[in-house]
Amino acid sequence: MKKLMIVLAVLGVAFFMMSCGSKEPAAPANAMQNELDGAPDWVLNESAGGSGLICGVGSATGTRNVSLARTAAQGRGRTAIARSLETKVKAMLKDYQSTTTGGEAFGQAANDEQHIEDVSKQITDTTLSGTEQKNTWISKTGTLYVQMCMDLEKFKGAVNQMQQLDEKIRAAVVERANKAFSELDEATK
């Protein structure tokens, strides 16, 4: 009985402390909306880079080191570009349901159980040549957003300059790049 009284007292104090807060935290949807309030179009729409460009947006927050934030945001922007070009996805969904009924409550009550697992893994392995930082924006909360873009013509020029690749491989890479840019342009019209 003494342990029950202690547990109830602790719960009462915890409830009192939670109810005395001065302000409720913003709901996740509102926090996201507040974070992106006033954001330029390219932050919300990665493909807003223009014709002949593949763009990706990266962000970084939580540091006072501007150089580190910029480097992290640029890297995340390049990752977004690489993911738009090629991503291998492996996914698995496990779904189990069971209902058991019997005894006196047969047909009237049942014990149900359910277990669902959804697992996916995405792998991107792409070399990007010729990416450049195009835009930056800092949100009201201090998050740095960077738009990284890759120009199709510069990319093809960089591939053509690679001396270690023979002509057939260079032509194949340029052809795949042209196809990827065309598909991206078509998908974002």
- Strand stretches in the chain, DSSP E: 53-60, 88-100, 111-123, 131-138, 144-151
Confidence of residue 129 (pLDDT cuts 50, 70, 90): confident
Tokens read off for 179: 């196809």
Number of Cβ within a 10 Å radius of residue 39: 16
For residue 58, the model assigns a pLDDT of 93
Handedness of CA 87, 78, 126, 165 (dihedral sign): positive
Most confident of 72-76, 83-87, 178-182: 72-76
For residue 115, the model assigns a pLDDT of 82
Confidence of residue 85 (pLDDT cuts 50, 70, 90): confident
The DSSP 8-state label assigned to residue 62 in this structure reads S
The radius of gyration computed from the CA coordinates of the chain, to the nearest angstrom, equals: 26
Q: Across all residues in the chain, what is the average pLDDT? A: 76
86 or 39, greater pLDDT: 39
Mean pLDDT along residues 153-165: 67
pLDDT in tens, 56-76: 999 999 888 999 999 999 999
> What is the spatial distance between Cα 89 and Cα 120, in angstroms, rounded to a whole number?
7
> What is the spatial distance between Cα 42 and Cα 56, in angstroms, rounded to a whole number?
9
pLDDT in tens, 26-58: 555 577 778 899 999 999 886 666 677 888 999
Q: What percent of the chain has pLDDT over 70?
A: 73
pTM score: 0.56
pLDDT in tens, 5-14: 454 444 444 4
> What is the spatial distance between Cα 146 and Cα 56, in angstroms, rounded to a whole number?
8
